[in-house]
Amino acid sequence: MTVREALNSALDEEMSADPKVFLMGEEVGEYQGAYKISKGLLDKYGPERVLDTPITEAGFTGIGVGAAYYGLRPIVEFMTFNFAMQAIDHIINSAAKSNYMSAGQMNVPIVFRGPNGAAAGVGAQHSHCYAAWYGSCPGLKVLTPYSSEDARGLLKAAIRDPDPVIFLENELLYGESFPVSAEALDSSFCLPIGKAKIEREGRDVTITAFSKMVGHSLKAAEILEKEGISAEVINLRSIRPLDRATINASVQKTNRLVTVEEGFPQHGVGAEICATIVEDSFGYLDAPVERIAGADVPMPYAANLERMAVPQVEDIVRAAKRVCHRSVPLAAAA
Amino acid sequence: MATAFSAAKFGTQFFPVGTRSHENPLFGHLKTPACSFLGSTRRLRFSSASKLNQINSHRRSVVVAVSDVVKEKKSKSTSNLFLLLFIPAHSIQLITKEEGLELYEDMILGRAFEDMCAQMYYRGKMFGFVHLYNGQEAVSTGFIKLLKKEDSVVSTYRDHVHALSKGVPARAVMSELFGKTTGCCRGQGGSMHMFSKEHNLLGGFAFIGEGIPVATGAAFTSKYRREVLKEADCDHVTLAFFGDGTCNNGQFFECLNMAALWKLPIVFVVENNLWAIGMSHLRATSDPQIYKKGPAFGMPGIHVNGMDVLKVRAVAQTAIARARSGEGPTLVECETYRFRGHSLADPDELRDPAEKAHYAARDPITALKKYLIENNLATEVELKAIDKKIEEVVEDAVEFADESPHPTRSQLLENVFADPKGFGIGPDGRYRCEDPKFTEGTAQV
């Protein structure tokens, strides 16, 4: 099943199960979704539940939050999360903080979803990764699915969740196909929010990643296997709340850590994971933590520059070798 | 209700508003303002306001300051709704005695409460940002007293009186301001973030313009419930209150567009008090007549004298009825004034004392009192009794708030998520919220 089909089926099932769930966003209806995620939903549920909005992110995000205050369960689709910056006031100030400010009276069962991070050749303003931005804000839950099973399970959990959830997808993963178990195809299938998945077990080094980087990490792990390094790959799945328990347990087993992310390095997800490990598992570390992140520059357009600005499989392999003291340390800057 | 005309007719009738207002002597002065008004509105407001007062004294029992557009259309429309407003017979009573006393009591409560807030702030019991509503009571009372409990109100940081008018007890609001655990938001919201699920007060937003999309969403829910969830009797209306400065903000226009597009049951109430902190409305806005922005988006725009609670109430009746019957949104501009500064930290040096004196003379409470007495709806004694009663309510609220406990330490981590599992999984592999030590001690999340 492709990730696109997984998301579509999750939306379909949740909308048919609960009439209070509705989808709104740009081009979600008649265009069948800017990335065809909401294909067929307009025909099935009608224009009152699949709303094509004007290009007014601040306005319609606020409308979604207002509807959520009053008992509906909106799913707000952003064409990309870059555009959500026009609405970030509502995401943070009206949605994330409301349950706290109202002392539990106004909970906001809303899901904000859309593609996040770099695509191919789309330039600086369309390639920003927001995992760290939303991950720092209390009151939000931030999910980053990788495979189709993740996409299905986490989206269903997000829609059923009574709190605001940021669902960061990845455009390049939409077309990728993954095997799914029969259990995942069941309509009540749900994954827990806040639990990471160990995609591949290993003994020598822990590699944490989320979204597209999980794929790169798995490929890197295959290469490392041939060189005698057994890597454990953790698919974070949930940026907030971060599954610190799983990461710590893994590092306590392998004693080495490489964090991989696509976003900018400073104040990124990797930085948070480093800090967590230092706080809880300092004594278990045999080497300093290696952080792989995107280059600290706005995303360039030229294809070769873009390749250099985003972590590649070779970068992960090199970092894993460095942390296992198998190669001469190079400067960490990209 | 408003069944005499269809929504389409109503919509198109308001389009040529731009041309009409210039010909009307009421607004003639506003057409070509002189440059020297920059920074002071005295010249402008004086002239137009005095005209209004003259007309007021001649036709006291009839609402006048509805936009001239509505007056023009009255002759063409056969609507019962507008007939009610324009029958010139002096014998028609606009309100009954009970209604009059209710309005008076609500406005006195607003005023006394805000005055007490100022006192408490300077005594150090209240802190942070406090924005008071003195002078604008007619707008809150005029609109909110017409609502049902299920209707909702969305406000800005100047929300104490909106909360009180909607029915939140004075004790709960005062405790919230003191930061005590018995406040309407358990002390976690504060002056600018008043929420009450029971009374459908959806906040309390600090950013201007932030409440408008939220209000539009609440109105959307009302329509969704009726049409998709098939709750046939759901005709809840939402009121969004905001100021003149907000009318230049992008979110305002986005919501005017979507509300008119989807015919949402909402009334956009502009409390135009001419000043956004120290920025005069005329210095900030290309076209200062805010009500004209309504027809640009396909909804009626009405201007009303916001210092007269009866006029506000009459316009509110029209607008709320329109929304309730499914005909769509209305933009109502209430010309009002705040007697105090923007907030209690504002020294209020930029406003012309003559302007302040001019509006102080049009105090809505004094005006209503005069009306009630002159029309034999109430006696001095009855009104004094209400004054005394409210004084006691406010003092009781202060006492209650004083004696209420501060929030406990464990309250710090509560209510971040509705689903407490949002704090994730602890080192022992179980959800943190299941750990009894979770909200004790330092927030080691």
Kindly determine whether residue B251 and residue A242, on different chains, have CB atoms separated by under 8 Å: no
On the question of pLDDT at B426 being above 60, the answer is yes
Half-sphere exposure of B314 (CA within 13 A, CB side): 25
A128-143 residue pLDDT tens: 999 999 999 999 999 9
Q: Assign a CATH topology to domain B93-403.
A: Rossmann fold (3.40.50)
User: Is-catalytic flag, A128?
Assistant: no
Decide: B164 and B114 in contact? Cβ < 8 Å: no
Pairing label, strands A21-25, A50-52: parallel
The tokens 């800005």 sit on which residue?
A: B156
Q: Which residues of B touch A88 (CB under 8 A)?
A: none
On the question of pLDDT at B127 being above 90, the answer is no
**CA distance to partner chain B, nearest, from residue A44 (Å):** 14
On the question of pLDDT at A187 being above 70, the answer is yes
Confidence at residue B250, expressed as pLDDT on a 0 to 100 scale = 92
Q: Which residues of B touch A162 (CB under 8 A)?
A: 417-419
Burial class of residue B442 (count of CB atoms within 10 Å of its CB; 0-12, 13-18, 19+): exposed
Structure tokens at A102: 């109202």
B246-289 residue pLDDT tens: 999 999 999 999 999 999 999 999 999 999 888 889 988 999 99
A105 vs B: CB within 8 A: yes
Q: Which residues of A touch B205 (CB under 8 A)?
A: 93-94
Work out the number of other CB atoms within 10 angstroms of the CB of residue A290. Answer: 25
Banded pLDDT at B95 (limits 50, 70, 90): confident
Confidence at residue B39, expressed as pLDDT on a 0 to 100 scale = 35
On the question of pLDDT at A110 being above 50, the answer is yes
Give the pLDDT mean for B288-294. Answer: 94
Average pLDDT, chain B: 80
User: Is-catalytic flag, A48?
Assistant: no
On the question of pLDDT at B77 being above 70, the answer is no
Banded pLDDT at B28 (limits 50, 70, 90): very low
Beta-bridged to residue A75, according to DSSP, are A23, A111
Residues 291-350 of B with CB under 8 A from A: none
Decide: B405 and B414 in contact? Cβ < 8 Å: no
Mean pLDDT check: name the lowest of A119-133, A148-162, A164-178. Answer: A119-133
Confidence at residue B38, expressed as pLDDT on a 0 to 100 scale = 34
The Cα–Cα gap between A111 and A157 comes to 10
A18 vs B: CB within 8 A: no
Confidence at residue B425, expressed as pLDDT on a 0 to 100 scale = 75
Confidence at residue B413, expressed as pLDDT on a 0 to 100 scale = 77
Structure tokens at A223: 């290469």
Banded pLDDT at A152 (limits 50, 70, 90): very high
Residues 210-249 of A with CB under 8 A from B: 238, 241-246, 248
A67 vs B: CB within 8 A: yes
The Cα–Cα gap between A23 and A113 comes to 10
On the question of pLDDT at B435 being above 80, the answer is no
**CA distance to partner chain B, nearest, from residue A314 (Å):** 33
Structure tokens at B191: 């002056």
What are the residues whose beta carbons fall under 8 Å from the beta carbon of A127, sequence distance 6 or more?
Answer: A82, A117, A118, A119, A299
B98 vs A: CB within 8 A: no
Choice between A82 and B51, residue whose per-residue pLDDT is larger: A82
A107 vs B: CB within 8 A: yes
Banded pLDDT at B27 (limits 50, 70, 90): very low
Confidence at residue B115, expressed as pLDDT on a 0 to 100 scale = 96
Confidence at residue B279, expressed as pLDDT on a 0 to 100 scale = 86
Burial class of residue A37 (count of CB atoms within 10 Å of its CB; 0-12, 13-18, 19+): buried
Kindly determine whether residue A243 and residue B424, on different chains, have CB atoms separated by under 8 Å: yes
Banded pLDDT at B233 (limits 50, 70, 90): confident
pTM for this entry: 0.80
Confidence at residue A266, expressed as pLDDT on a 0 to 100 scale = 94
Choice between B23 and A210, residue whose per-residue pLDDT is larger: A210
**CA distance to partner chain A, nearest, from residue B296 (Å):** 17
Banded pLDDT at B29 (limits 50, 70, 90): very low
Say whether A293 sits in a helix, a strand or coil.
Answer: coil
Kindly determine whether residue A109 and residue B229, on different chains, have CB atoms separated by under 8 Å: no
On the question of pLDDT at B129 being above 50, the answer is yes
B418 vs A: CB within 8 A: yes
The tokens 């409308």 sit on which residue?
A: A63
| Domain residue ranges of chain B, discontinuous segments joined by + | 7-39+61-90, 93-403, 412-442
Confidence at residue B438, expressed as pLDDT on a 0 to 100 scale = 67
A88-106 residue pLDDT tens: 999 999 999 999 999 999 9
Kindly determine whether residue B418 and residue A162, on different chains, have CB atoms separated by under 8 Å: yes
Decide: B202 and B214 in contact? Cβ < 8 Å: yes
- Percent of chain B surpassing pLDDT 70: 77
On the question of pLDDT at B76 being above 80, the answer is no
Confidence at residue A114, expressed as pLDDT on a 0 to 100 scale = 96
Confidence at residue B439, expressed as pLDDT on a 0 to 100 scale = 59
Say whether A165 sits in a helix, a strand or coil.
Answer: strand
Helix B97-122 × helix B309-324 angle, to 10°: 110
Confidence at residue B54, expressed as pLDDT on a 0 to 100 scale = 42
**CA distance to partner chain A, nearest, from residue B74 (Å):** 34
Confidence at residue B411, expressed as pLDDT on a 0 to 100 scale = 83
Confidence at residue A330, expressed as pLDDT on a 0 to 100 scale = 53
Give the pLDDT mean for A49-58. Answer: 92
Say whether A114 sits in a helix, a strand or coil.
Answer: strand
B110 vs A: CB within 8 A: no
**CA distance to partner chain A, nearest, from residue B133 (Å):** 22
Shortest CB distance from A64 goes to which of B152, B210, B217? B217
Confidence at residue B92, expressed as pLDDT on a 0 to 100 scale = 53
B249 vs A: CB within 8 A: no
A303 vs B: CB within 8 A: no
Residue A246's nearest CA partner among B431, B425, B443, B422 is: B425
A248-298 residue pLDDT tens: 999 999 999 999 999 999 999 999 999 999 999 999 999 999 999 999 999
Confidence at residue B276, expressed as pLDDT on a 0 to 100 scale = 87
The Cα–Cα gap between A168 and A116 comes to 5
